[in-house]
Amino acid sequence: MGKRKYDDDQITGILKEHQAGVTVADVCHRYGISEPTFYRWQSLQSGNAGPHAKRVRALEEENQKLKKLLAESLLSAATLSEMLAKSTKGRH
């Protein structure tokens, strides 16, 4: 996941600017975002996800870290099992 250009508070400010009467095209041009990005932000905040967006994002980041740790430990366990199998074959 790449680095975000705008944080949740900035996104909320951009959306409020549109609600104050600025057109979507002007807001998008001013902040260098595409219209689909603007509408995606709008749908995320209108669906009551706005107040919970930071919590969800933090959980998603934690989930990614845990998945990476799990993959690394599984790889390590597989490597150790392979090495153990090779060393016991040589003894018989």
Q: The dihedral of CA 63, 69, 72, 75: what is its sign?
A: negative
Q: Are 38 and 28 in contact (CB under 8 A)?
A: yes
Cα gap 49→27, rounded to integer Å: 21
32-86 pLDDT tens trace: 999 999 999 988 887 655 567 778 888 999 999 999 999 999 999 999 999 999 8
What is the pLDDT, as a whole number, of residue 92? 60
User: What's the pTM?
Assistant: 0.49
Q: The dihedral of CA 60, 62, 65, 69: what is its sign?
A: negative
Quote the crossing angle between the two packed helices 35-44 and 24-31, to the nearest 10°. Answer: 110
In degrees rounded to 5, what are phi and psi of residue 34? -85, 160
Is residue 28's pLDDT more than 90?
yes
